[in-house]
């Protein structure tokens, strides 16, 4: 179960690193606009906000990677803390926007990884 938990945590870290790149690098490009369903003008106006969001997603990824490489109990605690942050952010994002895709793209992977980490813990 420990290996499954580590794979899931790694997958969530990669997901948030990818979101960081989308928000910080590709936000105004076709790939970013398509991912978030925006036109050029909306992307241009919201780019500074997106870069800030991207930075936070990068922090989530970095915290999860730290949790994977740190020795226990710190590694376990870091994984739990950052996965709870992912789950809460996913729940808030799904509840506060009209985009329910967040439930499946962020909340669900985070919740599955959190459950696996706790069970393996």
Mind listing the pLDDT tens digit for each residue in 31-82? 999 998 999 999 999 999 999 999 999 999 999 999 999 999 999 999 999 9
pLDDT tens by residue, 12-42? 999 999 999 999 999 999 999 999 899 999 9
Q: What is the pTM of this model?
A: 0.92
pLDDT in the model for residue 12: 98
Give dist(CA 103, CA 78) in Å, integer: 23
Give 105's DSSP letter. I
CB 121 within 8 A of CB 114: no
Domain boundaries, the chain: 2-120
């Amino acid at each position: 179960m420990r290996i499954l938990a580590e794979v899931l945590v790694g997958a969530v870290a990669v997901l948030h690193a990818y979101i960081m790149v989308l928000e910080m690098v590709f936000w105004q490009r076709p790939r970013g606009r398509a991912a978030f369903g925006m036109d050029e003008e909306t992307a241009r106006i919201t780019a500074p906000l997106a870069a800030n969001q991207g930075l936070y997603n990068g922090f989530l990824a970095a915290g999860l990677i730290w949790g994977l490489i740190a020795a226990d109990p710190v590694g376990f605690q870091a994984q739990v803390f950052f996965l709870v942050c992912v789950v809460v952010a996913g729940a808030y994002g799904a509840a506060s926007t009209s985009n329910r895709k967040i439930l499946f793209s962020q909340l669900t992977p985070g919740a599955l990884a959190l459950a696996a980490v706790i069970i393996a813990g």
